[in-house]
Amino acid sequence: MINFENTSAEFLELASEVRLKILFDLIQKPSRLTTLSKKYNVTPQEIHRNFERMSNSGLIVKQGNNFYALTTFGKAICTQIHSFSYLSQNKKYFTSHNFGNLPSKFLRRIGDLSNSEEIIGVSKVLETWKKIYRTADDYIFNILNETPLDLIELMIKRVKRGTKYCHIISEDASIPKGRKQLLEKSGFYPLLESNKIERRMIKSVQVSVILNEKYAGLMFPDLTGKPDLRSMFFSQDDAFREWCLDYFKHCWNVSDPFKEFKLKE
């Protein structure tokens, strides 16, 4: 059973912008009180007061030569603050979106998405989507509920240049008219037969990802659980991309073989 009394006390110690700044400075390297006092333009007495609180709570420890460093507990707390930071920064976004059917193990790692930007507007989202395709050399991985025709053409061009393409699509995906004709005309099926393109199918896609070895994009569903192409979180940050890659691998492992007859234009 969670001890909420102890937990609330830890939150109280973190309820200070200065103390949070100190924590994330010390995660880079140990530092002296006077150094941080000058950096934040606050009095040494104020920094000392915060250092004392953080030392008493077990977040930091005093070392030799008056240097302070994070404790193991302090380092662990810093890894969790990213989750609060991401949710706080995107509080407005999550009034109209939710996490859909995202497994709890990925929700617990939500702080990995902190270093990202929100792309707003369907046209900007599609341009960012194209950027991920254009810059791919090693691979393109997707979990999607729809794929516009012009993106299909761009994907096939990359695959013909040697890029691996793996795609997970929902059974109720939105399929544009003319898709089959385009696939036949563009040489899609020979690429599929040579395993340069791999496809899987999942019952319902709510959380969408698009990534390559450099960039990743992530789209959460609206409050009804439907995919929303009006906004996308985008980043080249390693932690963000790793989160998206791990989620793709999870969905790939639980997906079913692709069945063309389930898709309807």
- Secondary structure in 3-state letters for the chain: CCCHHHHHHHHHHHCCHHHHHHHHHHCCCCEEHHHHHHHHCCCHHHHHHHHHHHHHCCCEEECHHHEEEECHHHHHHHHHHHHHHHHHHCCCHHHCECCCCCCHHHHCCHHHHCCCEEEECHHHHHHHHHHHHHCCCCEEEEEEEECCHHHHHHHHHHHHCCCEEEEEEEEEEECCCCHHHHHHHHCHHHHHHCCCEEEEEECCCCCEEEECCCCEEEECEECCCCECCCEEEEECCHHHHHHHHHHHHHHHHHCEECCHHHCCC
> Could you tell me the residue range of the domain that residue 103 belongs to?
96-262
pLDDT for residue 182 is more than 90? no
Q: Would 34 be classed as within a structural domain?
A: yes
* Residues 110, 215 within the same domain: yes
Look up the CATH number of the domain holding residue 57: 1.10.10.10
Look up the CATH number of the domain holding residue 172: 3.30.870.10
Residues, the chain = 265
pLDDT for residue 1 is more than 70? no
* Residues 69, 124 within the same domain: no
Domain termination site, one of 81, 114, 131: 81
73 vs 172: CA distance, rounded Å: 46
* Residues 121, 45 within the same domain: no
59 vs 28: CA distance, rounded Å: 15
* Residues 156, 233 within the same domain: yes
* β pairing state of 164-174 and 139-146: parallel
User: pTM for this structure?
Assistant: 0.87
Confidence of residue 2 (pLDDT cuts 50, 70, 90): low
Q: Would 76 be classed as within a structural domain?
A: yes
Q: Would 91 be classed as within a structural domain?
A: no
Q: Would 88 be classed as within a structural domain?
A: no
pLDDT for residue 52 is more than 80? yes
Cβ-based neighbours of 60, under 8 Å, separated by 6 or more:
22, 23, 26, 51, 54, 68, 69, 70, 71, 74
221 or 15, which is more confident: 221
**Cα angle, residue 97 at apex, residues 92 and 99 outer, rounded to 5°:** 120
Confidence of residue 176 (pLDDT cuts 50, 70, 90): confident
Q: Tell me the backbone φ, ψ of residue 116, rounded to 5 degrees.
A: -150, 165
204 vs 49: CA distance, rounded Å: 53
Query: pLDDT digit string (tens) for 222-238?
Result: 999 988 999 999 999 99
Domain termination site, one of 29, 48, 81: 81
* Residues 29, 103 within the same domain: no
- Return the minimum-mean-pLDDT range out of 112-126, 222-236, 251-265: 251-265
How many structural domains are present in the chain? 2
* Residues 143, 219 within the same domain: yes
Q: Would 123 be classed as within a structural domain?
A: yes
* Residues 132, 199 within the same domain: yes
Interval 104-112 mean pLDDT:
94
pLDDT for residue 180 is more than 80? yes
Q: Would 233 be classed as within a structural domain?
A: yes
* Residues 175, 213 within the same domain: yes
CA-wise closest residue to 143 among 252, 260, 262, 253: 252
* Residues 144, 221 within the same domain: yes
Interval 207-215 mean pLDDT:
97
* Residues 223, 161 within the same domain: yes
Q: Would 16 be classed as within a structural domain?
A: yes
pLDDT for residue 65 is more than 70? yes
* Residues 76, 114 within the same domain: no
Domain termination site, one of 57, 81, 105: 81
pLDDT for residue 202 is more than 90? yes
* Residues 70, 132 within the same domain: no
Q: Would 89 be classed as within a structural domain?
A: no
